[in-house]
């Protein structure tokens, strides 16, 4: 039983990934997480048959599916039911059988399998407030077997705090794409306003 003051990670921040239209748009707009790129990452991380892999904030499951296709026992963890359903449909199409889905998050996932050879989290940790990122790191460390690997990919800002407005505007201009070609300005702006800035305090120090 969690204490009443514990952060409720199921109350989504940022883009509403409980909305299936947003989930479909997310998967459509993915350019950094394609099956080919995730397959290469699986190889880079040395994921092979028989290993245990946990993907925290697994989203539409592109990485988790590739890790399962390599023969690993994979746990795809996400707070969004819509994301999990979408990922499960994709995994059925891909014909993988070693992938399990869990509706949970960094702060609530209870692992019931062997300790992990690899824990991965891509573009999800920024959603937690800074204090709770520390809690997430402690929980991730406890999921890993000795010598296990933690792979983190996320947005990291590096600029003097007083320059935040210009720096975030600059970032949006750099990454926003025209309609149909990826993340658009409106969505990025919404993401920034609501949660991405939370990254600033913690990850810059890592
Ligand atoms: C930007 S998506 C990234 C998905 C995937 N990792 C990728 O690289 O494409 C962020 C994901 O994190 C999930 N998420 C948000 N808060 C979370 C939390 N506290 N614990 C786990 N997942 C969370 C969202 O539902 C969403 O699926």
**One-character DSSP codes across 13-63:** -SS-TTSHHHHHHHHHT-SSS-HHHHHHHHHHTT--TT-EEEEET-TT-HH
* pLDDT at residue number 199: 41
Q: What is the pLDDT of residues 29-42, one digit of tens each?
A: 787 889 999 999 99
| Domains and their CATH numbers in the chain | 20-156 (3.40.50.150)
The alpha carbon of 47 is separated from its chain's Cα centroid by a whole number of angstroms, namely 18
106 Cβ inside 6 Å of ligand 1: yes
123 Cβ inside 6 Å of ligand 1: yes
15 Cβ inside 6 Å of ligand 1: no
61 Cβ inside 6 Å of ligand 1: no
* pLDDT at residue number 84: 96
Mean pLDDT of 148-164: 89
Ligand 1 centre from 177 Cα, in Å? 21
Model pTM score = 0.86
Ligand 1 centre from 106 Cα, in Å? 10
Residue 120, token pair as written in the block:
């991965």
**Least confident segment among 97-101, 109-113, 137-141, 157-161:** 157-161
Q: For ligand 1, atom 21, which residue shows the shortest CA distance?
A: 105
**Contact predicate 29/95, CB 8 Å:** no
Q: How confident is the model at residue 203 (pLDDT cuts 50, 70, 90)?
A: very low
Contacts of 91 (CB under 8 A, 6+ apart): 61, 64, 65, 68, 99
Ligand 1 centre from 58 Cα, in Å? 6
83 Cβ inside 6 Å of ligand 1: yes
Ligand 1 centre from 128 Cα, in Å? 10
Q: What is the pLDDT of residues 74-117, one digit of tens each?
A: 999 999 999 999 999 999 999 999 999 999 999 999 999 999 99
Q: CA 178, 198, 4, 114 torsion: positive or negative?
A: positive
Whole-angstrom Cα distance, residue 56 to residue 163?
31
Q: Does position 186 have pLDDT exceeding 80, yes or no?
A: no
Whole-angstrom Cα distance, residue 156 to residue 21?
27
């Amino acid at each position: 039983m969690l204490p009443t003051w514990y952060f409720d990670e199921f109350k989504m921040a940022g883009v509403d990934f409980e909305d299936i239209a947003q989930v479909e748009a997310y998967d459509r707009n993915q350019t950094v997480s394609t099956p080919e790129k995730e397959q290469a990452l699986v190889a880079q991380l040395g994921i092979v048959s028989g290993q245990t892999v946990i993907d925290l904030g697994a989203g539409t499951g592109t990485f988790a599916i590739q890790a399962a296709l390599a023969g690993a026992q994979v746990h795809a963890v996400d707070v969004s039911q819509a994301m999990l359903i979408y990922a499960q449909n994709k995994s059925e199409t891909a014909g993988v059988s070693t992938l399990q889905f869990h509706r949970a998050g960094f702060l609530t996932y209870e692992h019931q399998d062997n300790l992990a050879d690899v824990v991965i989290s891509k573009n999800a940790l920024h959603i937690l407030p800074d204090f709770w990122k520390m809690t997430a790191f402690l929980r991730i460390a406890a999921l890993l077997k000795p010598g296990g690997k933690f792979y983190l990919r996320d947005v990291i800002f590096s600029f003097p705090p007083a320059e935040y407005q210009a720096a975030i505007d600059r970032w949006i201009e750099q990454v926003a794409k025209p309609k149909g070609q990826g993340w658009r300005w409106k969505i990025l702006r919404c993401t920034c306003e609501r949660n991405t800035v939370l990254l600033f305090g913690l990850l810059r120090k890592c």
